[in-house]
Structure 1
Amino acid sequence: MEKHEFEQFLYDHIPITEKMGFTIVEFTKDKVKVAAKLEPNINHKRTAFGGSINSLMTVCGWAMVFINIKEVDPEAHIVIRKSNIEYLAPIDCDFIAECELLDEEDRNKFFEMYKKHKKGRLTLKVTCHKETKLLAEYEGQYVAFK
């Protein structure tokens, strides 16, 4: 699935993502980047609303699981099991969440668990930067199941 197809999939299946202005910047099995406009996600301080930042980072991790598990099982379901976020600095501009899955051992363990138990867990880190400044860090545990 190409990034524009996945973006439309998000809009169709998680409609709030379109209203929040989420767009897919990069969508590969190793790296996912999802962008958001500040304006629809603004708070009373004219910075990004914490819930919007959390949503963007959750969707970014979910997209990483999606692109990886769909090659193993196109019918797999994905849910977030638990997450933790740390807001490190106010976000006063459009923002991007980024997730990388570069460790083949983690990916293979996830696939093996899924194939063996029809359920697999994957813990992912997602970051939000402005140039070189880290704005937010997120860790989420996702579960894919039949």
Structure 2
Amino acid sequence: MNAALLKDTEAFLHQQIPITHAMGVQVHSYDGRHLVITAPLEPNHNHLGTAFGGSLSAIATLAGYTLLWLLLGDRSAHIVIRESSIRYRRPVTGAIRAVCQRPDEATLTTFKTQFEETGKARLRLQVRIEKDGQTCVEFDGEFVALK
């Protein structure tokens, strides 16, 4: 994905979801399969000097939201989180790196068809937050897109 689109997406997030700016969120990369969102530890740390659980949850949710926003391509659509679960496996001791994997083509086609036909569709996405090649956080969320 080109750098201009990544920067435009990041600007959209900072404008529409102001906390993303305060958290230092950046849309790092998207290769068509994996979207990577990053944020520095400094504005997102807890009293132990590791990433605050609330920040990790917000960034994981944001990674799913952003991937769906990019995949949908309908800038007038509204995207919300319907439900989620998160597992904190190990502390994040440095910069936060959230990776959301694009769903398989059949799932994505079903989602887009339902969205076009009904104006509403749900999609389950998984996000992992990694540090030094290890998964620190696992997030599973169901997102809803509305026209």
Encode CA deviations 1:85-126: one digit per residue, 9 max, x unaligned.
000001110110000114101110100111121101000000
Structure-1 residue corresponding to 2:135: 134
Which ranges of 4 or more aligned residues in structure 1 deviate by more than 6 Å? none
Distance 2:31 2:80 in 1: 19
Work out which of the residue numbers 51, 56, 63 in structure 1 matches 2:54. Answer: 51
Distance 1:55 1:102 in 2: 20
**Structure 1 residues 93-102 or 56-65, which shifts more?**
93-102
Unaligned runs of 5+ residues in structure 1 are none
Encode CA deviations 1:2-32: one digit per residue, 9 max, x unaligned.
0011111111111110100111111355321
RMSD: 1.2
Q: How many aligned residue pairs are there?
A: 144
> Superposed, which structure 2 residues align to 1:82-93 within 5 Å?
82-93=83-94
> Superposed, which structure 2 residues align to 1:1-146 within 5 Å?
2-27=5-30, 29-70=32-73, 73-146=74-147
Encode CA deviations 1:60-91: one digit per residue, 9 max, x unaligned.
00001100112xx3311100000000000011
Q: Among all aligned residue pairs of Structure 1 and Structure 2, give the percentage whose two residues are the same amino acid.
A: 35
Structure 1 144/78 Cα, relative in aligned 2: closer, same or farther at 3 Å? Answer: same
Unaligned runs of 5+ residues in structure 2 are none
Give the 3-state SS of the residue equivalent to 1:89 in structure 2: coil
**Structure 1 residues 21-30 or 43-52, which shifts more?**
21-30
Give the 3-state SS of the residue equivalent to 1:108 in structure 2: helix
CA contact (8 A) 1:11 1:18 kept: yes
Distance 2:42 2:112 in 1: 39
The TM-score normalised by the length of structure 2 is: 0.93
1:129 CA drift (Å): 1.0
